[in-house]
Amino acid sequence: QVFNFSSGPAMLPAEVLRRAEQELVNWRGLGTSVMEISHRSKEFIDMADESERDLRELLSIPDNYKVLFAHGGGRAQFAAVPLNLLGASRSADYIDGGYWAHSAIDEAKKYCDPRVIDIKTRIDGLRGLKPMSEWDLSPDSTYVHYCPNETIDGVAIDEMPAFADRTVVADYSSTLLSRPIDVSRYGVIYAGAQKNIGPAGLTLIIVREDLIGSARQELPSILDYQVLAKHDSMFNTPPTFAWYLSGLVFKWLLAQGGLVEMGKRNQAKADYLYNAIDQSDFYRNDVAPANRSRMNVPFLLADETLNALFLEESLAAGLHALKGHRVVGGMRASIYNAMPLAGVQALVDFMQDFARRHG
């Protein structure tokens, strides 16, 4: 059996893939694939409506928020957010906690003067992030942008924002749907689908209605929240297959018991892996416990010359895509919703066996 620890595009639930396989050439009895029909057909629109209802139920999305199903991934939103929200203003606070937050800042510089608040810190010699109470926000910024889960750095901010009179924007690309969150704390939440949600190509945007409508003139229509909302996310042809498959994932999540249950499972998986790493002299994770990501677990081998052998042997054992990102080095296990506890147990068994043989 193969367990895929890719950071994204990532593993999808086996049940979802089986169902998609069954329906591939004959969807809803139409005698054709969902990929081959018009997004304006009744069947597709029914599916789209159903997927939105399911997503709203999963995340308890309040009625005064629009859900948009868009193209472009997380990076398109790095531009879309300032262009949709800033109007005539040029001031926004950007929290820098890692690679992706920093990438959002680089893009935002094209459209405004982001005030960068670096929250990276050392806690007992480990990589950590300052808590929200220590974020030095400016008094007059139009919004505050942050990334709650840094996919590459393996650091996370689990606190829910509680800043009075602030519009908070969050890049939830690698953690949306992994546990319950309070959507009402946010102005905009966005996420590329290819980690916890579905295939690459679809981007989810959850935006409070009063923030829609102040876009800058030069904003491309396909990124304009008002245009997307007005056309029920079908201003241009949406990524239909990715949308359909994500809809199946929403149904799978509801059948598992929703996000409370997923949160428990994800915590149990992460605890299992971090405990194994902490108890070993052979492996280490250098993130402060309060900021450890439950989705992306980077770890280093004490003897880095064994990295290539570790990757070769783990692949042969059916444990795929464990190579860490070049920025952090070492290994990284991404353990999103679709990764069962059995996959994490298989990884830990392998790691312990490898350590015994090479330690």
**Active-site residue set:** 100, 171, 195
Stretch that binds ligand PLP, among 67-75, 218-226, 248-256, 320-328 (CB under 6 A): 67-75
Three-state secondary-structure class, residue 114: strand
- Classify strands 144-146 and 91-96 as parallel, antiparallel or unpaired: parallel
Q: Which residue of this chain has its Cβ atom nearest to ligand PLP in the complex?
A: 73
The residue among 93 and 171 lying less far from ligand PLP, judged by its C-beta, is 171
CA 25, CA 20: separation in Å to the nearest integer? 9
Distances (CA, A) of 208 to 66, 67, 245, 266, 308: 6, 9, 25, 28, 47
Instruction: Phi first, then psi: give them for residue 224, nearest 5 degrees.
Output: -85, 115
Is 86 in contact with 112 (CB distance < 8 Å)? yes
Q: Does 178 bind ligand PLP (CB under 6 A)?
A: no
Q: Minimum distance between the CB of residue 316 and ligand PLP, rounded to whole angstroms? A: 27
Measuring CA to CA, which residue among 295, 310, 315, 320 is closest to residue 353? Answer: 310
Q: Minimum distance between the CB of residue 204 and ligand PLP, rounded to whole angstroms? A: 11
Q: Does 171 bind ligand PLP (CB under 6 A)?
A: yes
Cis check: omega of the bond before 340, within 30 degrees of 0: no
Q: Does 51 bind ligand PLP (CB under 6 A)?
A: no
Residue from 74, 97, 247, 330 binding ligand PLP (CB under 6 A):
74
The residue among 19 and 325 lying less far from ligand PLP, judged by its C-beta, is 325
Residue 189, token pair as written in the block: 């939440």
Stretch that binds ligand PLP, among 70-78, 178-186, 272-280, 344-352 (CB under 6 A): 70-78
Residue 13, token pair as written in the block: 């639930």
Neighbouring residues of 326: CB distance < 8 A, sequence distance ≥ 6: none
DSSP 226-292: HHHHHTTT-SS---HHHHHHHHHHHHHHHHHTHHHHHHHHHHHHHHHHHHHHHT-SSEE--B-GGGB
> DSSP letter at 10?
-
Binding mask 182-221 for ligand PLP (x = CB under 6 A): ----------x-----------------------------
Residue 113: count other Cβ atoms within 10 Å of its Cβ: 12
The residue among 8 and 13 lying less far from ligand PLP, judged by its C-beta, is 8
Give residues 222-251 in contact with ligand PLP (rule: CB under 6 A). Answer: none
Is 29 in contact with 174 (CB distance < 8 Å)? no
Q: Minimum distance between the CB of residue 333 and ligand PLP, rounded to whole angstroms? A: 15
Residue from 19, 56, 71, 75 binding ligand PLP (CB under 6 A):
75
Binding mask 91-130 for ligand PLP (x = CB under 6 A): ---------x------------------------------
Residue 50: count other Cβ atoms within 10 Å of its Cβ: 13
- Tell me the number of residues near ligand PLP by CB under 6 A: 11
Judge whether 75 is annotated as a binding position. yes
Give residues 8-27 in contact with ligand PLP (rule: CB under 6 A). Answer: 8
CA 333, CA 162: separation in Å to the nearest integer? 31
The residue among 154 and 192 lying less far from ligand PLP, judged by its C-beta, is 192
Residue 194, token pair as written in the block: 């290819």
Q: Does 298 bind ligand PLP (CB under 6 A)?
A: no
Is 269 in contact with 334 (CB distance < 8 Å)? no
Q: Minimum distance between the CB of residue 173 and ligand PLP, rounded to whole angstroms? A: 4
Residue 130, token pair as written in the block: 């300052």
Return the amino acid letter for 354: F
Q: Does 173 bind ligand PLP (CB under 6 A)?
A: yes
Q: Does 293 bind ligand PLP (CB under 6 A)?
A: no
Give residues 149-168 in contact with ligand PLP (rule: CB under 6 A). Answer: 151
Judge whether 192 is annotated as a binding position. no
Q: Which residues are annotated as part of the binding site?
A: 7, 40, 74-75, 100, 151, 171, 194, 236-237
Binding site for ligand PLP (CB under 6 A): 8, 73-75, 100, 147, 151, 171, 173-174, 192
Q: Which residues are annotated as part of the binding site for pyridoxal 5'-phosphate?
A: 74-75, 100, 151, 171, 194, 236-237
